[in-house]
Amino acid sequence: MQTHYRTCNICEALCGIEITHEGENILSIKGDPKDPLSRGHICPKAVALQDFYFDEDRLRSPLKKTANGFEEISWEEAFDFTVNKIQEIQNKHGDNAVATFLGNPNAHNMGNLLFVRPFIKALRTKSRFSASTVDQMPHHVASLHMLGHSILNPVPDLDRTNYLLIMGGNPLVSNGSMMSAPDIPKRFRAIQERGGKIVVIDPRRTETARKADEHLFIKPETDVVLLLAMIHTIIKEDKIRLNHLADNVTGLEEIKTLAEKYTPELAEKITGIKAEKIKSLTLEMAAADKAVLYSRMGLSTQTFGGLCIWLTNVFNILNGNYDREGGMMFPSPAIDPISFSPKKGKPKYKSIPLSRVRKLPKYLGETPSASLAEEIETEGEGQIKALVCVAGNPVLSVPNGRRLEKAFEKLDFIVCSDIYLTETSKHADIIFPATSGLEISQYDITFLNLAIRNIAKYSPALFPKKGNVKHDWEILAELTARLKGEKNQGHSPEMFLNMALQMGKYAKDGLTLEKLKEHPHGIDLGPLTSCLKERLQTDDDTVRLIHPVFLEDLKRLDESLNTTASENDFSYQMIGRRVLRQHNTWTHNAHRLSKGRNECTVLINPTDADRLGVTSGEYILLKSRVGQIKVEAEVTDEIMEGVLSLPQGFGASKKSKMKIAAAQNSVSINDLTDDLRVDSLTGNAALNGVYVSVSKMAD
Ligand SMILES: Nc1nc2c(c(=O)[nH]1)N[C@H]1C(S)=C(S)[C@@H](COP(=O)(O)OP(=O)(O)OC[C@H]3O[C@@H](n4cnc5c(=O)[nH]c(N)nc54)[C@H](O)[C@@H]3O)O[C@H]1N2
Ligand SMILES: Nc1nc2c(c(=O)[nH]1)N[C@H]1C(S)=C(S)[C@@H](COP(=O)(O)OP(=O)(O)OC[C@H]3O[C@@H](n4cnc5c(=O)[nH]c(N)nc54)[C@H](O)[C@@H]3O)O[C@H]1N2
Ligand code: SF4
Ligand SMILES: [Mo]
C-alpha cells in the first residue's frame, strides 16, 4: 500500500489530498491534514478524480471525423493533418482566420499554462478567446487601470478579517474564486468565533447566506448603485482612511465629486435595499478595524461588471482596508507571473484594441467570447475560418451557445484537445485526447497567486497515462514545433518550473523544485503581508482611484437609470448558480457526482409560482430573446420575487457518447443567456440578469 499527496486541481480552492492505493487500485482519497492551506478539507469532487481517470467514456485515442463518424487515427496523422489544415487556412485567409478558445481547465494545469503561450505565438493569431470573458475579465480591467497590471489582483484576507461583506459570490458551494481559500465553512466559523461578522448581498439566499450573520436581497444588476451609495456614505460621514497608502493614492477629489449624487435614498429605489440599511452597513464596516468587501461572479458577469469591480476596490481603499491585514491583500507567490511581464515604466497604451464586428474591447488580447459566433458568421477580412479549442466547451459555456454551435457549420476546420466527447468537441474534425487529474504533475502557477496564504507546492503525477493519450503540454509543444517548422525541443514543464522558482522571491531561501519534492504537503511561506508598494505597476507608483474608462462608463449607467425598463413579455430576471457536486460542464459523467435528486431545477419564488399556478416538480417553459428551455420548477422563498435561478454547466445531451446520469433533465442555461448582453466596458458577458418569460407547459 502506498500513499500519494497532491493538490486537487478541479477548482480554485487548492485542497491538499491524500490518496492511498495499491498500484492502480485506489483505496481512499481523503483531505490531507498536513496541507498548510487546506488543513484536511476536501469536497466530494476530489473523490471523483479517480472516476475521471478510469472513466470508459474518456477519449483514449486521437480521433478524426469521417463520413462514418469518428475514427481512431495515429498521433502522427493527427498532428500532420492539423498543422496542414491550419497552415492552409492561414495562407488563404490570413493568420487571424484561425481562432483559439482556451477553457477553464487550462488555468488549473501547469503544463497548459507553460506551453499554451508559445503555441499561440506560433499561430500568430489575434483571434483569441477564452473563459476569462465569461468570468473574471472585470477584475483584470480594474487591476490594469488602477494598479498598472491586469494580474495584480487582490484577495480577501479571510483568516484575519473581522467583517466580511460578500456580493455576488457563493463560496460555500463554489469553494471560492479569485481567492484560493479551501475550507470556507471553517474559515467563516473562525470569523464569527472571533466576534466578526459576515454579510451576504445576493438575489438568492444562498448556502453562504445561510451561514452568514445577515443576508440582504438585491435586485439583479443593481449592485453598482449600491456600491456608489456606500462610497457616498463613507465620504459624507467623513470616514475615509487611507492608512499607509495615503501618499500613494490619486483621484480622491474626483471620487468625492462623482459619488455625490448616488445617495442611499436613490440606491434604495434601484436595489430594493433600504437607505438606512445601506448607511448602517457602511458605518459598521467603517467602524470595524479589519473589514473587507469581496465581490465575485454575480458582480463580474453582469451589465456593469467593470464598474462593480472598480468600485469594490475603491470602497476597500477608502475604508482603509487595502493591502492591509484583514482587508484586501496581495499574495507574494514563489512564482510571480507579474515578474514575467512587468508593465512598470512602459508607456500606457493609448487605446484598447476592438473586436472586428461589434467593436468590443479586447483586454489582455482577448476577444470577448460572447462575440465568437458573430466573428465566425460575419464575412470580410479577418473572418474566423478555423477554431483551436483547448480544454474548453464553449457550446455550453458562452451565452447563446446554440448560435455558436450553428456557426460552427461555417468553419473549415475545428480541432479540440479534450478528455471527453462534448457538446463542443463532437463538432471537431480532429480531437486530441488529453490526460487529466491524477495523470499530471502540478504546480498551481495561477492560483498560488490568488491564495489567501503564501504557499508553494508541487505534486508529481500519480498514475501513468491511461490509453493512447498525451498531456496537453506535449500536444501543444508538438504543434508549436511543427507550426514553426522546428524540431520539438522536448522541454518539460518541470524544467520551466524550476527556472521560474529560481527567478522568484524565495529562491534566496533555497526554494527549488528539489526542495518542493521533499515537502509533498507543500511549504508554508506565511500569511499575506503588505506588499503593494513594491508590486504596484503604475508608472508613478500610485493607486489610481479613477481612470477615464470608468468615468465614461458611468454615463452608460446614468442613461440606464434614466430609462425605465419597457413593459415586455420577458418580465423575470434569470441568474445562475453552482452546485457543489459538479464543476462547470465536464464532471457530469462521474457516477458518484451525478446520483441523487435532479439538481437542474429553476428556483422560483412562491408569490410568482402562485401567480403562474406553478408547483414544485412541474416542468415549465422559460423563454428569452434567444431561445427556450423546459425545466423542472422548484418553488422556494430563497429566491427573490421576479428572479429565477438556473444552474450553469448542465446541458450535455444524450447524443454524446457520455452516459450522463442526469442528462434527461439537463438543460443549458446558455440556451437562454444572450450574446448581445455584455458589459461593454470590459467585454465580459452579462450572464446574470437575463430577461426571460415563464409559462406553464400545456397539459
Ligand atoms: N450562464 C453561465 N455561463 C457560464 C458561467 C455561469 O456562471 N453562468 N460560468 C462561466 C465560467 S466562470 C467559466 S470558468 C466557464 C467555463 O467554460 P469552459 O472552460 O468552456 O468549460 P469547462 O466545463 O470548464 O471545461 C472545458 C472542457 O475541458 C475539458 N477538460 C477537463 N479537463 C481537461 C484537461 O485537463 N485537458 C483538456 N484538454 N481538457 C480538459 C472538459 O471535458 C470540458 O469539455 O463557463 C462560463 N459560463
Ligand atoms: N461546485 C462548483 N464549484 C465551482 C464551480 C462549479 O461549477 N461548481 N465553478 C468554479 C468557477 S469556474 C468559478 S469562476 C467559481 C465562481 O464562484 P462564485 O463567484 O462564488 O460563483 P457562483 O457560485 O456562481 O456565485 C455567484 C453568486 O452571485 C449571485 N448573483 C447573481 N446575479 C447577481 C447580482 O446581480 N447581484 C448580486 N449581488 N449577486 C448576484 C448568485 O445568486 C450566486 O449566489 O466557482 C468555481 N467553483
Ligand atoms: S473544493 Fe473540491 S474540487 Fe475544489 S480543490 Fe477542493 S476538493 Fe478539489
Ligand atoms: Mo470560472
The CA 254 to ligand 1 mean position distance, Å, reads: 40
What's the confidence (pLDDT) of residue 661? 44
Residue nearest to atom 30 of ligand 2 (CA): 298
Ligand 1 within 6 A of CB of 434? yes
HSE-CB for 308 with a 13 A CA cutoff? 30
CB within 8 A of 415, min separation 6: which ones? Answer: 82, 85, 86, 386, 387, 388, 389, 428, 429, 430, 431, 432
- Looking at the CA of 48, name the nearest ligand: 3
Ligand 3, atom 2, lies closest to the CA of 43
Distance between Cα 591 and ligand 1 center (Å)? 19
Compute the distance from residue 47 Cα to the ligand 3 centre, in Å. 9
For the chain, the structural domain boundaries read: 2-54, 63-135+362-527, 157-324, 564-696
**Residue 40, all three cell numbers:** 484536511
Residue pair 101/392 in contact by the 8 Å Cβ criterion: yes
Quote the pLDDT of residue 594: 85
Q: Is 43 in the pocket of ligand 3 (CB under 6 A)?
A: yes
The ligand that comes nearest to the alpha carbon of residue 30 is: 3
Q: Which ligand is nearest to the CA of 176?
A: 2
Architecture (CATH level 2) of domain 63-135+362-527? 3-Layer(aba) Sandwich (3.40)
Atom of ligand 1 nearest to the CA of 432: 38
451 close to ligand 3 (CB < 6 Angstrom): no
Alpha helices of 453-492 — where are they, by DSSP H? Answer: 472-484
SS3 content of the chain, % helix, strand, coil (to 5): 35, 20, 45
Distance CA 356, CA 126 (A): 11
What would the pLDDT profile of 660-674 be if each residue is shown by its tens digit? 444 557 999 999 999
pLDDT tens figures, 233-260: 999 999 999 999 999 999 999 999 999 9
**Rounded to an integer, what distance in angstroms lies between the CA atom of residue 252 and that of residue 117?**
38
Residue 400, ligand 1, Cβ within 6 A? no
Q: Which residues of the chain fall below pLDDT 50?
A: 567, 655-656, 660-662
Q: Does ligand 1 come within 6 angstroms of the Cβ of 431?
A: no
Decide: residue 101, CB within 10 A, 0-12 exposed, 13-18 middle, 19+ buried: buried
Check pocket membership of 397 for ligand 1, CB cut-off 6 A: yes
> Residue 656's pLDDT is what?
47
Shortest-distance atom of ligand 1 to CA 437:
35
> Distance from the CA of 38 to the center of ligand 3, in angstroms?
10
Q: Name 562's Cβ contacts closer than 8 Å, sequence gap at least 6.
A: none
pLDDT attached to residue 346 = 59
Residue 184 CA to residue 191 CA, distance in Å, equals 11
97 alpha carbon – ligand 1 mean position (Å): 23
CB of 430 sitting under 6 A from ligand 3: no
Neighbours of ion ligand 4 (CB under 5 A): 135
Q: Which atom of ligand 3 is nearest to the CA of 13?
A: 5
The pairing of strands 291-295 and 163-167 is parallel
The alpha carbon of residue 429 and the mean position of all alpha carbons in its chain are separated, in whole angstroms, by 28
Q: How far is the CA of 547 from the centre of ligand 1 (A)?
A: 32
CATH 3.40.50.10310 fits 2-54, yes or no: no
- Å from CA of 150 to ligand 1 middle: 22
Q: Give how far Cα 145 sits from Cα of 34, 121, 152, 357, 682, Å.
A: 39, 25, 11, 25, 12
Q: Which CATH architecture has domain 564-696?
A: Beta Barrel (2.40)
Q: Is 456 exposed, middle or buried (0-12, 13-18, 19+ CB in 10 A)?
A: buried
Ligand located closest to 203 CA:
2
Reported as type and span, the H/E element at residue 18 is strand 16-22
> Residue whose CA is closest, atom 6 of ligand 3?
15
- CA 687 to ligand 1: nearest atom: 1
| Ligand 3 touching residue 37 (CB < 6 A) | no
The pLDDT value recorded for residue 662 is 46
- Predicted local confidence at residue 659, as pLDDT: 52
Topology given in CATH for the domain delimited by 157-324: Dimethylsulfoxide Reductase; domain 2 (3.40.228)
Ligand 1 center from residue 585 Cα (angstroms)? 6
Distance CA 486, CA 114 (A): 18
User: What's the CA-to-centroid distance between 656 and ligand 1, angstroms?
Assistant: 17
DSSP 3-state of 459: strand
Report which bound ligand comes closest to the CA of 638.
2
Is 104 a pocket residue for ligand 1 (Cβ < 6 Å)?
A: yes
Burial of 698 (0-12, 13-18, 19+ CB in 10 A): exposed
Q: Is the CB of 8 under 6 A from ligand 3?
A: yes
Burial class (CB in 10 A: 0-12, 13-18, 19+), 519: middle
CB half-sphere exposure, 312, CA atoms < 13 A? 32
Q: Determine the distance separating the centroid of ligand 4 and the alpha carbon of 131, expressed in angstroms.
A: 7
Mutation probe of ligand 1 site: the residue of 9, 134, 646 with most atoms within 8 A of C-beta? 134
* Closest C-alpha to ligand 1, atom 40: 391
Per-residue buried b or exposed e for 283-300, using 16+ beta carbons within 10 Å of the residue's own CB: eebbebebbbbbbbbbbb
- Of all ligands present, the nearest one to the C-alpha of 11 is 3
pLDDT given for residue 621 in this prediction: 97
Distance from CA of residue 583 to its chain's centroid?
11
Distance between CA atoms of 449 and 451, rounded to whole angstroms?
6
Per-residue model confidence (pLDDT) at position 654: 60
State the distance from the centre of ligand 4 to the C-alpha of 415, rounded, in angstroms.
23
Distance 133 CA to ligand 4 centre (A): 10
Ligand 2 centroid from CA 300, angstroms = 10
Q: Is 161 in the pocket of ligand 1 (CB under 6 A)?
A: no
Structure confidence at residue 663 (pLDDT): 54
